[in-house]
Amino acid sequence: MEVIMDPVLTIIAGAAILTVIGIMSGGTFLLRIAAGGTPFNGLQKTFFRAGHAHAGVLVILGLVSLLLTSAAGTAVVWQWASVGVLASAILIPGGFFLSVLGRDPERPGRAIALLWTGVVVLAASLLAVGVGVIAAGVSALG
């Protein structure tokens, strides 16, 4: 069985892999914070750490979703649901990072809405990916 991914999704997958370079540079930023070289409060440090971790995990989950939907032979529309997982890899960390910008914030700002938007996009996308892969498996049974 030959697995061929939609060409546009292949480009998106390649771009997602390149975003890991940015996530890596975020790691060096976190090291500077941990070493005390950059002054941030406890809330900021916690949110920066959470944003960084979510970015890495969600990019990997999005790529795995693309590969699974493609390998399972799902219709392209189900494969596109994986792009939602990758979008959540921008929205959720963005909510973490942007909601605590500024000097010594006491609580997250309005940009926290990005995080919750990302959670909804992630849940809907994973539901679609899961249903698409199950449907492809059931269809393959005969």
**pLDDT, tens digit (0-9, with 9 covering 90-100), for 64-73:** 999 999 999 9
pLDDT band at 2 (very low <50, low <70, confident <90, very high): low
Provide the mean pLDDT of the chain.
Answer: 91
Query: Which amino acid is it at 66?
Result: L
End-to-end CA distance of the chain: 16
Q: How confident is the model at residue 3 (pLDDT cuts 50, 70, 90)?
A: low
- pLDDT, average across residues 88-108: 93
What is the pLDDT at residue 90?
96
Segment 92-118 mean pLDDT = 94
pLDDT tens-digit profile of 13-66? Answer: 999 999 999 888 877 777 777 777 777 888 988 898 899 999 999 999 999 999
What is the model's pLDDT at position 50?
Answer: 92
